[in-house]
Structure 1
Amino acid sequence: MAETVTPLSPLEQVEREQLTAVRRRLRSRAVVKRVMDVICGGVGLVLATPVILAVAGAIWLLDGRPVLFRQLRLGRDEVPFTLLKFRTMRVSGGRRLAGRDDRQRLTPLGRFLRTTSLDELPQLFNVLRGDMSLVGPRPLYTHYLPHYRDDERLRHTVRPGITGLAQVSGRNHMGWDERLRTDVEYVSRQSLGTDLRILWRTIVGVVRRADVVVIPGDLGEPLDIERTYPVRNGLTLRRLRTSDLEQRVRWMSHPSTRRHTRMDPVSLASTREWFDRVRQDPNRHDLVVIENASGKVLAMAGLIPRTPGIAEFYVFVDPERYGQGIGQTATDLVCQWSFERLLLDAVMLTVHQNNTSACRIYEALGFRDESVTDARRTMTLTRERFFAAPESAGDPGRRLSSKVGTA
């Protein structure tokens, strides 16, 4: 029996034709680009040889072996290859270390190499070997592959690069959505002129040490983590970043926020000290609630470990957005994530009993009183009560399943 073929819709047909045209254009440019990579990469390697030998010797003398760091990354056509870099961190001895340990593992020499981008020089060998190009989307981890959206996978139709459009447009300061969108933009309109401009801007940026990020984790989470946060009412979560701290200080200093809290006055300096300290605790989670479409921060929330399996929850909303249901959605998102991903048994919080709107929200979500002291209610939500709670009137699809959506 002949298989029935479902005809494509006009929109699907246009999208397929556009993708085919992009792939055809990329193939025609691949030869010219490869010749430039071999010539420029070879000349660059010859000129950089004294520096490469000096850096290798310094690592061997100061930090020991191995000198090179090797890691599988995703290359052209989603084929893995071994990326080469100078080692900048202490060897972990086979123990799996969390990303928050990077600050402790980074060596003094490694910090200098990252700041000056000298740790990237061994990738010239990757270029000559054909694994990489001088310019292209940066090669990312192989385990990110299931988390790309369909259009973002277009970035893998070209060789990854030592530098790229996303890097000269803001380096690691861009969020994942913007960074991957920029990669696709480069692939769609790449040319020899574009590559030369990117190379020049890279050289200028390295000389000026502009937008350098020594610890990438300071600005966000890995793609595979960020895209497993739940999504509801167009809102989702991400980790609190250094770039969020000024906004956090403004919100926490606002009279509307302080009305129902017992926080000490905060400053940007004290908040930075607090952030440096708390992000070293692997069991603490400080988050922001963002508008999925724009990436705008609407609220900040967190989970502070108290006893095994139990964390204390806090949330505060943009004072200009009170009364829009953001606090309820934020609480629901964090609780869902805490029970499904962190496998907590219960979440607790304290709220002033005069804050009637917040109390109603927490009661509707399933929080129950544990005690009342000094006019503050201590409330607890268990995992069982969270998933057994009826659907909320404003969100008829809530908790019908425990599956986490893609951000």
Structure 2
Amino acid sequence: MSRKHYLISIFLLLLLLGASGCGNTKSSSTVQNEPSNTNSSDSINIGVLVAETGASSSMGKPGSEAVKLIDDQLKKNGGMINGKKVEIHLQDFKSDDPTAILKLKDLISKEKIVAVVGATNLSASSAVSTEAEKNKIPMVSLASLPNGYGHYIFGVVQKDIVIQSVIVDYLKKNNIKSVAFMHARDGFGQNGLKSFQELGKENNIDVVAVENFEVLASDMTVQLTKIKAKNPDAIIVWTRPPASGVIAKNYKQLGLSIPMIQSHATANQTFLDQVGTDGEGQLVVGSKLNTINQFPDSKQIKISKDFSEAFSKKYNYEPNVFSGYAYDGVQLVLDAISKGNDTPEKIRDYFENGIHNYPGITGTISFSKDDHSQVAPDGLALFRIQNQKWTLVK
């Protein structure tokens, strides 16, 4: 981690902490919930697309609220960076891909945005990235894009294989040699299966059963019963709530006792609320933000603690990996602007040439010409649910 980026992050977070007591962002901040029809040449506009409502809201809402915290920070500083007003145009695409594309088009044509951050889930991020690339607008993706990153597309989310390496470390440490893999039939689930099969092969872990399901399925007992018959040493689940919660409850109902490990898409309060006591003892990979006070002090932990305290104070719940992704994405754009990069082309070039060992909350971030999404696993950890709370697995 570079000392320069660390000091910048600490400075921005100190501003954030001072601003976290501000009023409702909808009425008093620079967050714009709908595109306007005018654009000031003196302002620098950033677009943010999140699924604040709809099927992906368990991931999108924490991200949206992290962005509103940043907006509080901007307002505290008069909304100014380098003598120009910076406005964040936060848009809820309602977990609908076509809506995300339409909102991005509006942001480009009406607000003349210099960059966009989004769009919560894989399918929306993929769709939006195509539009951003076509319009030469730098984008920070909030989902890992398995088909690669274009000239203008960057990412702050660890690749699936990086996230799954945390799970594999646990499996190897506990001498687990065989697993069953459950996944939704969407892009996230299918890509998760592909990457784990590769990782499992490299680490001599056999995938002895694979079961899939519709993302809105309300019962998974058939799939879990089939898995039970295969007698794996553990079960890995690659989906998000509510499907992940359904699986957790069915697992409990069937009396299964082998370890079950859920993906980072499940590491949020929505899942804990859904499963209640049925989630007791189950494992989830997620951000260190989930249990930030259980880690020894370091530069990264200091930054994350400051963010976590400000977030919790404002929203009365703990931030998670999706809060961190959105926070990191917007802060990268602000970092570029603070160094005089106020056009799409300048921001794109700065990302590719100037982001090295950036202290992201959810992992150390580096971009290069050959890799637009190199995010280390140092912001991730494995958690066990105990007393309906996250507990670090050491």
TM (norm. structure 2) is: 0.26
What's the TM-score once normalised by structure 1's chain length? 0.25
Larger Rg: 1
